Amino acid sequence: MGKWVGLFLIGSAILHGSDSTRTEDWQVEEIARFPAEEARQGVAVDGDFIYVIGNREVGKYDKHTHEKVAGWSSPQDGPIIHLNAGLVHDGELVMSHSNYPGVPMQSSVERFDPATLNPIGSQSFGIYFGSLTWVDRWDGGWIACFAHYSNRAAEPNRDPTWTSLVRFDEQWRRMGGWAFPAALFEHIGGDYTLSGGAMGPGGYLYVTGHDDRELHVLRFPQMGSVLEWIGTVEIPFEGQAFAWDPADPEVFYGIRKKAREVVVCRLHRVK
C-alpha cells in the first residue's frame, strides 16, 4: 500500500474572523489499515488494544497484530440502539449512545470493562439538548457533543446548526457550553452533523463530519459562546468517530464505514 499524505489547510479563507492566528502547516500520513466487521461508528484506543464500535457491538483488536481478541453485542431488542464514539478513561471504556434516528432524542453514556467488554454502568441524559455523538475529557471534567440533523432524525424547527458542545463536571452536572460556527456547517453541508470529536495535539478540539474526508480544528474562544474554526485537514477516511492514541499523541484512528476498515494515521508538523 502506498503512503497517503494530506496537507493541513490554514489560511484567511477559513480562519473566520481570527486573522491573528499563526499555525504551521501539518500533514496527515496513513500508516496502516486493517479490516474490522464492527467498523460502522468509530474507535477507541488504549495502550494495547483498539475497540471498534458498531451500532450495537464492539470488537476488541490487538493494537500491534490487528487480530480480534474479544467482542460484545447487544440483542436487537435490547436497550442499546446506536453507539457512537468511545474513549478509554480511568480503566473504563466509555461510549456515547443515542436512540438515533428516534425522536424525541434520547442519550446516555455507557461504560464497559475494557478487559472483558462487560457493561459496568450507565449515565442517562434522557431527553436532552440533542443526540449524543461523542464525549471526551477536558479541564478536569467532560465535554459532550449533542447533535441535530436535517434528515429523518430531525426534531421540529431544528437543523445541524443547533448542534452544541456541553461541558460537564465529574458528576455530569452541566457547567457551560458552546455553539459550533455556522460557517463550519455551511462547509460540511448535507443533513448530518459532527460524528466525531476529541481534544488533540496543540490543545485544539478536532471534529469530523459524517461522510467527508476532513478533520476540522477548533479552539475555545476567549470571549463569547462560539468555538473558533481555525483549519481543516484532509484525511483518508470518511468522517465518523475517531480516537487519538494515548501512547503517541500524533497518531489517531478512524474507520472506513463502507469498507469495514480501521485506518491508522499520523498528524505531524511539516515545518
Domain definitions of the chain by residue range: 5-269
Per CATH, the homologous superfamily of domain 5-269 is TolB, C-terminal domain (2.120.10.30)
Side-chain-facing half-sphere of 91: CA atoms under 13 Å: 1
Taking alpha carbons only, the member of 34, 44, 6, 7 closest to residue 23 is 7
At 183, list the grid cell: 460557517
- The one-letter amino acid at 20: S
d(CA 146, CA 131): 5
- Write the CB contacts of 158 (distance below 8 Å, at least 6 apart in sequence): 130, 148, 149
Give the pTM: 0.91
What phi and psi values does residue 27 have, to the nearest 5 degrees?
Answer: -130, 150
| AA letter at 30 | E
pLDDT tens for the chain, residues 1 to 271: 445 555 544 332 333 333 333 335 778 999 999 999 999 999 999 999 999 999 999 999 999 999 999 999 999 999 999 999 999 999 999 999 999 999 999 999 999 999 999 999 999 999 998 999 999 999 999 999 999 998 888 888 899 999 999 999 999 999 999 999 999 999 998 778 899 999 999 999 999 998 899 999 999 999 999 999 999 999 999 889 999 999 999 999 999 999 999 999 999 866 5
